[in-house]
Each structure stands twice: as C-alpha cells, then as structure tokens.
Amino acid sequence: MPLQRKPSDVLLKYWGYKAFRPLQEEVIGAVLEGRDALALLPTGGGKSLCYQVPALCREGVCLVVTPLIALMKDQVERLKSLGIPAAAVHTGMKYADIDRIFDNAVYGSLKLLYLSPERLLNELARVRIAKMPVNLLAVDEAHCISQWGYDFRPAYLQIAEIRKLLPEHVPVLALTATATPEVVEDIQDKLAFKKNLVFQRSFVRSNLSLVVRKPEHKLSHLLHILQKVPGTAIVYVRSRKMTREAAEFLKHHRISASWYHAGLPREERTIRQEAWMEGKTRVMVCTNAFGMGIDKADVRMVVHLDLPDSPEAYYQEAGRAGRDGKKSYAVLLFDENDEERLWKNFERSFPPLKLVRSIYRALGSYFRLAVGAGKGQSFDFDLRDFAETYDFDVFLCWNALKFLEQSGYIALSESVFMPATFSIIVDKETLYDYQLKHKEYERVLRALLRVHANAFRQMVRIDERRFSSFLKISSDRLVSILRHFEKQGIIEYQPMKDKPQLTFLTERLDADNLLLDAALYRFRKEVQEKRIKASLAYVHSRACRMKTLLAYFGESLKEDCGHCDYCIEKKRLAEKKGEEAFDSYAKQIKQCLLKQAVKPEELLEQFPVEEQDAYLRALSFLQDEKFVRIDEAGLLHWTNLKKPHA
C-alpha cells in the first residue's frame, strides 16, 4: 500500500513538531514497512504518535484497541480538534451510535477508530471490521494480553482472532510503558507476530531522583518535602478518604492542594484537574484514578504515601514526574505498617472461589437478569451499593469481580461520561398535534424545539443541568418528562451516564456451572506475590534504586545512577568532607566484624535505632569496595585487604 504522505510531513502539519522523539521514527518506519512491532516506551514517551502518524500516511483506518475509555475519549477529542476524523466505540453506548460509527469506518473518511477490547467479542464488530479498509491494528496497554502482566484482560486474547479478518499485509503495533521480559515475549506470542521485533527505550530516567524515606509521621514529612522542593506535585494515596485528609492537611499549612478520586462528580473532577493543569493548584492528592493520559511536563515531584503492590504501577506513576527532562523527584514514604497492610491486602485480593460464585449469583439478581440472558449487555454499576445490598465486603467483592473478569465472564470499566442525547422521532405535524393535546408539556416541547431545532431524526446533545435551569425545574423533573416523551413514542432519549460500567460477556449462567480455573487462580496469586516481594525489595534495597528497579524489568545498569538517595548518601560518606563520619561508621563495623562474623541484621542490632539507616548504607559501601564480604551462609566478614578510606 503506497504512502500518501511522509511521516515527517504529517508530524509537522498536525502536531507542529519538526522532529520525532527517540525511537518514534524507527517504530513508525517498521509499521509502514508492514512489520509487526512491540514498542516499549516509558510514560510520556509519545506512544500514541507511533500509530496516529502512520494511520495518516496511508489510505484506510487504524484500529486502536485500548481498555481506558476516558483516555480513548480524550484522544478522540484531541484528534478532532486537529482536524483528524476519529471515533470511539466502548461499553455503555447505544446500538444506533455504534452502528453509525462502524458505517463511517467502512464507508466514510474515518482515520482512527478506538475500540474497547470487549467490543472485539461482539459479532457486529467482527462483521464490520472484516469490511473496513484497515491500514494498521494498534494495541495500546499491550501488557493486558499477558497473564504474566499486572492487568491481564482476557478480551485482549481475541485480538489475534481479529487479525484473521484483516488482509495479510496489515501489521500489528503493540505498545506499553512497562513490561518484564516474560511479558515482552508473551505479548508477541499472543498477538501472533510474524517475526519478533521489539523497540525499547531504556527505563533509565537520568533526571529523576528516586528516594525512599521511613518517617515517623508521613504527612509531616510530606509537608517538609513540599516546603523544600518547589513546583507542581502529585501525591498518591490508596484510599479516597485519605485524598481529602492529606489535601486538607496541606491546605492548613498553606500549601495549595486539592484532592481527586473516581467517586467525585464528573464536573468536579474536571474542574480540579484543570486547576492543577493550569498551575492554579500546586499539589494534587489522589488515588491511581488520576494521571492516566494527563500530559503535564513540569511535574517536579511524585510522592507515594503508600507502597504500590507492583513495580510496574510504581514506575508508571513515578514516571509522571519530570517529563520535561528537568530535575525531578519520585519519593516513596514507607513504614513497617505498609508491609503488613500489603500482605493483608494480598490475601484479601484472592477471595475463596465459593465467594466468587456467590457474588456472580448476586449480580444476576442485582440486574434482574434471568439465566441465559444478558450477553453483551452493559449496566451502570455502583460497587458500594451492590456490596451493601448483599452484605459483601467491598474489597473482597471488588477482587472477586476482577477474577470473574479475568475468567472472561464480565468486563468492568472505569467511570465513563456520556452526555445526554435525544432525537425527535415523529414528524412536525404529529409533534404539533401532541403539543395541543398535552398543554402541561407545551413549554418544555417549545424550548426543546427552540434550542435544538435540528433534533428531528438525528441524535443531538442536551445539557440536562443547563436546560432544566433555563426551564426553572429540577434536573430530576426534566429527566422524568423526557422519559415520558420516550414512552409516548415522541422522542428517542439517552440519559447522561457518569458511572462505571459492568458488561456481561456471556449469557448469565447458573453460578454452580461457572468454570473457574483453579490453576489460573493459583498462577495469578503466585505472580502477584512475586510483584509484592519485588516492591518490598525496592524499598529495602541497599543499592542504587534505579539499578534495583531496572533489574526487575530485565535491564542492567552498568554504573549506579548517581542521584537516588542511596547514591547520594554513598557519595556523601565517601567525600572528604564527610570522611570523619564515614571513618567512624567503618571503624565500628570493622570492630564488630573482627570479633566474629555475623549476619547483617545481627550487626544492625548493635547500633542505635536512629543511626541504623546510615550504618546500613556505610556497610553497603564497604561491601562494594570489598572491605566486607558475605559468605554462602549469609555471614559478614572483614577482609583486611585495604584501609577503609574513600
């Protein structure tokens, strides 16, 4: 398929850039040559351009599979603002809207079509995709296809089947920010790559200083850090309640802060996010619902008040600092309670399979679905209300639902905003006759026609809040009237949606007939246990933080990064300025080890608690410099090979 435009021309015309970022040009070149490719680009590395640019270089439409509805909607809006025809199909949409978008992809000028992975299971999607002039299949968040990955989604396994519907020459481009070596191999296998090809930018962030602290009081230490380091910051916490408490604490101490989580109303989330983006708010305290798709380059610091349960999650969130290449910090505040809490949550993350069946059975009752019904249907889903209705623990309930998702029975999506729409489905004469017979609705109908004169036979948006304010009635009253019009056959109406969606991927089964893979259950548990151990190894590491983190992702760093907390402390101890302090630590360690060989923890117990961290770093330095060695039994020995001086 010949090129219509050069990649560099497309980049300049639509995005205004004269040059690509590292690896973007190579990835785009491979795709345009028809080769399957996997691109591992860190957070903020410009993954989206790797498929958006080639999509515009050739005739046809690029299919983009992504699980993040908010992100796909945001990208569609951005592309449209640049004059690029794009659309998205995801859970919660009406059949008529999906049908129209698919038609545009088959017969129209659509250049990019975003699909949630669950849509690939739909027969309508498969029939239409087979007719589309597809020029590229892009798979975002590609780690979701692997059971080794930290966010496995079974629907991703259908992508290889979609390939069979496309011409042989259509390449696949997989993209992700983080992947271990096992996941990298698995992605290429599951997507049926014709030939393995991986483009990987180093995970090293030379401008990002990684720091772990173990303070007595986390909020006080957070305040100290923010007072010391200027600039925009993100503070991640685990609970919605803590977002508010931490933000209020900072505001009390005259730090401009706000809080954000998925439970806030959509308009409020938007207002808070925009205030932070524009620099009106300095610090955003949030759950992990915040940050995905946000392109703010000047974040100087990301602080975690709680330890994430995987290095992938931590690296992705920490990587939102310093995208402009300037000096930035990723700080993790950790205490022993965090470790205990992490293991407790781990056990609760894998509820008994008997409970999983009970929760699935309750879903059928909650949505009033008969056995054998519901396949492909999406519902607004309030997790807390569901759990309270059936007296389930919310945390256990959520993890049971995630296992049902990983087993291919349901799909869960984040809160998705869809504006209200309506269409007048009768002719003007019928509408006028209805208006005469129902004087109580005359004012509403006149207002609808005046504000939305083009609503005959086509869906148009209606801002229910503003429209009800204009009519001087409540939003609930307006919705009630519109629903009445729909029942009377006057309009077609789709109310505003702003809730998470739950989709049944199969017809509802009797819970006793669910096929729950116990082997998969054990495998996922083992993999998650390894992730937690890796996270704990990071915080307890007595080596270069960047080296420790990169080793998890299969990348080796020849030299220490030089700017993490370990490296800085190591330099400080080794510098002449601090030689006396270092000599003091080294002398005491030497005296202990000359008496007898001991284990590191036994050595540590001999020093004051408040100085143990410094002693451990000195010990690590002495090991690096071969003053101290450790034998196969884990005992430390003083080598006597040379004098301990920096």
For 230-261, write each residue's pLDDT tens digit: 999 999 998 889 999 999 999 999 999 999 98
Proportion of the chain above pLDDT 70, given as a percent: 95
Query: How do residues 282-329 score in pLDDT, each as one tens digit?
Result: 999 999 878 766 778 899 999 999 988 899 989 989 999 998 889 999
**Could you give phi then psi for residue 576, rounded to 5 degrees?**
-60, -35
Q: Does the pLDDT of residue 415 top 80, yes or no?
A: no
Query: How do residues 459-487 score in pLDDT, each as one tens digit?
Result: 788 888 788 888 888 888 888 899 899 88
Determine whether 435 is exposed, middle or buried from the number of CB atoms within 10 Å of its CB (0-12, 13-18, 19+).
middle
Tokens linked to 198: 């991986």
Q: Which one is predicted more confidently, 588 or 63?
A: 63
- Please check whether residue 261 is in contact with residue 252, taking contact to mean a CB–CB distance below 8 angstroms: no
What pLDDT is recorded for position 229? 92
Q: State the average pLDDT over residues 375-384.
A: 87
Q: What is the CATH number of domain 565-638?
A: 1.10.10
pTM here? 0.74
Which range among 147-161, 294-308, 335-349, 514-528 shows the weakest confidence by mean pLDDT?
147-161
What pLDDT is recorded for position 45? 67
**Could you give phi then psi for residue 259, rounded to 5 degrees?**
-130, 160
> What SS3 class is residue 128?
helix
What pLDDT is recorded for position 611? 73
Q: Does the pLDDT of residue 365 top 90, yes or no?
A: yes
Q: State the average pLDDT over residues 87-116.
A: 88
Q: State the average pLDDT over residues 396-406.
A: 91
Are the folds of 7-200 and 208-334 the same?
Answer: yes
> How far are the Cα atoms of 162, 376, 391 from residue 123, in angstroms, in the given order?
11, 10, 37
Q: Does the pLDDT of residue 207 top 80, yes or no?
A: yes
Give the sign of the dihedral formed by CA 590, CA 592, CA 595, CA 598. negative
Separation CA 65–CA 175 (nearest Å): 10
Q: Does the pLDDT of residue 458 top 50, yes or no?
A: yes
Which range among 41-55, 125-139, 332-346, 564-578 shows the weakest confidence by mean pLDDT?
564-578
> How far are the Cα atoms of 124, 550, 580 from residue 202, in angstroms, in the given order?
41, 9, 38
Query: How do residues 499-513 score in pLDDT, each as one tens digit?
Result: 778 889 899 999 998
What pLDDT is recorded for position 644? 43
What pLDDT is recorded for position 417? 59
* Whole-number average pLDDT of the chain: 87
Q: What is the 3-state secondary structure (H, E, C) of 432-481?
A: HHHHHHCHHHHHHHHHHHHHCCCCECCCEECCHHHHHHHHCCCHHHHHHH
Query: How do residues 610-619 score in pLDDT, each as one tens digit?
Result: 677 777 878 8
What pLDDT is recorded for position 548? 93
Q: What is the CATH number of domain 208-334?
A: 3.40.50.300
Confidence of residue 645 (pLDDT cuts 50, 70, 90): very low
What pLDDT is recorded for position 151? 79
In this structure, the strands spanning 86-89 and 61-65 are unpaired
Q: State the average pLDDT over residues 527-537.
A: 93
- Give residue limits of the domains in the chain: 7-200, 208-334, 344-418+500-527, 421-495, 565-638
Confidence of residue 646 (pLDDT cuts 50, 70, 90): very low
Q: Would you identify the CATH topology of the domain 344-418+500-527?
A: Arc Repressor Mutant, subunit A (1.10.10)
Q: Does the pLDDT of residue 524 top 70, yes or no?
A: yes
Tokens linked to 196: 């393995």
Number of DSSP helices (H) and strands (E) in the chain, helices first: 26, 21
Confidence of residue 643 (pLDDT cuts 50, 70, 90): very low
The answer as to CATH 2.160.10.10 being correct for domain 7-200 is no
Determine whether 519 is exposed, middle or buried from the number of CB atoms within 10 Å of its CB (0-12, 13-18, 19+).
exposed
Query: How do residues 140-151 score in pLDDT, each as one tens digit?
Result: 999 999 888 777
Q: State the average pLDDT over residues 187-212.
A: 92
Q: Does the pLDDT of residue 576 top 60, yes or no?
A: no
What pLDDT is recorded for position 581? 66
Which range among 467-471, 567-571, 580-584 shows the weakest confidence by mean pLDDT?
580-584
What pLDDT is recorded for position 70? 74
Q: Does the pLDDT of residue 95 top 70, yes or no?
A: yes
What pLDDT is recorded for position 183? 92
The residue among 240, 245, 236, 249 whose CA lies nearest residue 306 is 236
